[in-house]
C-alpha cells in the first residue's frame, strides 16, 4: 500500500489504526449486501427458493423480519473487520516497504500479490475466521432454530459445544479466501496506484474510490469459490471444508461455487471503494497526530 505520503513509509501504528477505522466503516455500511450474499450461499429451505437479486433478498427480509434482521451478525463482522483490516494494512504496508524498489518506491505485480497474500493469512489466523464463523452462524440460525440471542451468546454456545475448534470451523476455506482476496484486493489497488504514480495522476478521493472498486471486482471474480466454501463450513451446524465442497457440488454442481457472485460484486465494488478511500483519509488524519505525539514524547525524554 502506498502511503498517503507517497514515498515515505506509513508508521506501523498509523497503518494499524487507519486500517481498523477503514475496516469498521466498510463493514457497517455494506453489511446488508453481505447479509444477502450469505443467505444465498447457505442451503435453501425446502419449498422456499432464495432469489438471486440481492435487492429482493434485502427487501424481503426487511418486510418480513424488520431492519434489525438485516444487521444480524453485523457486530461480529464489524469487530472482525476492525481487527482484520488493521492487521492486513499493517502487514501489507510493512511488507510493501521492505520489498519496494528503493528508487521508485513501487513493487512488481508479483510482489504486490505476495505481500497481500501474506497479510491475508495473518489476518485469517488472528481475527477473520472466528468472527466470520459467528457472523455466518448468526445469519443461518436466524432463519432456522433462532437459539442465538447475540454474537456473544453464539460465541459462548459454540465454545461450550465444540471448544475453540468450533470457532475456527472453516479455517482452511477462510484462510484460502483471505490469502487470495487480500492478494488480489490490496495487490490490484497498489498496482493501479503505482501505475498512476508513474503517470503523475493525482491521488484524490475519486481516484482512490475507483481503484478500490476495480480491486473489488477482480477480487470477487477470482475468489468466489473460497467464499462459498467458507460460508457452508461456517453455518450454524458447521461442516468441514471437504463436507462443504461436497454439499455445494451435490446441491448446484460446479456453478454452485460462484453462488452469490452478483451479490458479492454489489458489495465489493461499493465496499472496495469505501475501504481504500477511508484508509487514505484516516492516514491523513492520524499520521500528523501520531507524529505530533511522538515529537512531544521525544522532547520530554
Three-class SS of 96-141: HHHHCCCCCCCCCHHHHHHHHHHHHHHHHHHHHHHHHHHHHHHHHH
To the question of pTM greater than 0.85 for the whole model, the response is no
Mean pLDDT of 31-51: 71
Tell me the average pLDDT across 153-162: 90
Model pLDDT, residue 8:
60
The proportion of the chain whose per-residue pLDDT surpasses 70, expressed as a percent, equals 91
Highest mean pLDDT among 31-35, 129-133, 146-150, 286-290: 286-290
Q: DSSP labels for 237-286?
A: S---HHHHHHHHHHHH-GGGGGTTHHHHHHHHHHHHHHHHHHHHHHHHHH
Helix (H) or strand (E) holding 223: helix 205-233
CATH number listed for the domain at residues 12-300:
1.50.40.10
Distance of alpha carbon 56 from alpha carbon 59, whole angstroms? 5
What is the predicted pLDDT for the residue at 106?
75
Q: Which pLDDT tens digit goes with each residue over 248-300?
A: 899 889 988 988 788 788 778 888 999 999 999 999 999 999 888 877 776 66
CA distances from 56 to 30, 59, 67, 107, 227 (A): 16, 5, 14, 42, 21
pLDDT digits (tens, 9 = 90+) for 74-90: 887 898 889 889 988 99
| 8 A C-beta contact, residue 229 and residue 244 | yes
The domain ranges of the chain are 12-300
- Say how far apart CA 221 and CA 224 lie, in whole Å: 6
| 7-19 residue pLDDT tens | 467 899 999 999 9
Q: Between 72 and 212, where is the model more confident? A: 212
End-to-end Cα distance, the chain: 32
Taking residues 207-226, report their average pLDDT: 92
Higher pLDDT, 34 or 288: 288
Residue 21: band (very low, low, confident or very high) from pLDDT cuts 50, 70, 90: very high
Beta bridge partners of residue 248, listed in sequence order: none
Alpha carbons 230 and 240: distance in angstroms, whole number: 9
pLDDT for 136 equals 81
Most confident option among 47-51, 62-66, 122-126, 217-221 = 217-221
- Cross-strand partners of 6: 3
Amino acid at each position: 500500500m502506498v502511503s498517503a505520503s507517497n514515498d515515505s513509509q506509513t508508521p506501523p501504528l498509523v497503518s494499524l489504526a487507519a486500517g481498523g477505522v477503514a475496516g469498521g466503516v466498510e463493514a457497517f455500511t455494506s453489511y446488508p449486501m453481505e447479509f444477502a450474499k450469505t443467505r444465498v450461499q447457505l442451503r435453501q429451505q425446502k419449498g422456499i427458493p432464495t432469489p438471486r437479486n440481492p435487492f429482493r433478498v434485502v427487501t424481503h427480509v426487511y418486510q418480513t423480519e424488520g431492519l434489525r434482521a438485516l444487521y444480524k451478525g453485523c457486530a461480529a463482522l464489524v469487530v472482525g473487520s476492525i481487527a482484520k483490516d488493521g492487521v492486513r494494512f499493517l502487514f501489507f504496508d510493512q511488507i510493501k516497504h521492505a520489498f519496494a524498489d528503493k528508487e521508485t518506491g513501487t513493487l512488481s505485480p508479483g510482489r504486490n500479490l505476495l505481500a497481500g497474500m501474506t497479510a491475508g493469512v495473518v489476518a485469517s489466523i488472528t481475527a477473520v475466521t472466528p468472527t466470520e464463523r459467528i457472523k455466518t452462524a448468526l445469519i443461518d440460525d436466524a432463519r432456522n432454530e433462532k437459539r442465538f440471542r447475540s454474537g456473544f451468546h453464539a460465541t459462548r454456545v459454540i465454545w461450550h459445544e465444540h471448544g475453540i475448534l468450533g470457532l475456527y470451523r472453516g479455517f482452511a476455506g477462510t484462510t484460502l479466501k483471505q490469502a487470495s482476496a487480500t492478494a488480489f484486493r490490496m495487490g490490484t489497488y497498489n498496482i493501479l496506484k503505482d501505475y498512476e504514480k508513474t503517470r503523475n495522476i493525482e491521488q484524490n478521493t475519486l481516484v482512490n474510490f475507483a481503484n478500490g472498486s476495480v480491486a473489488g471486482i477482480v477480487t470477487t471474480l477470482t475468489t468466489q469459490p473460497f467464499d462459498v466454501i467458507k460460508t457452508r463450513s461456517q453455518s450454524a451446524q458447521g461442516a468441514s471444508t471437504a463436507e462443504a465442497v461436497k454439499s455445494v457440488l451435490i446441491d448446484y454442481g460446479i456453478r454452485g461455487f460462484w453462488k452469490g457472485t452478483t451479490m458479492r460484486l454489489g458489495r465489493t465494488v461499493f465496499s472496495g471503494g469505501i475501504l481504500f478511500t477511508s484508509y487514505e483519509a484516516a492516514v491523513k488524519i492520524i499520521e500528523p497526530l501520531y507524529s505530533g505525539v511522538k515529537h512531544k514524547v521525544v522532547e520530554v525524554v
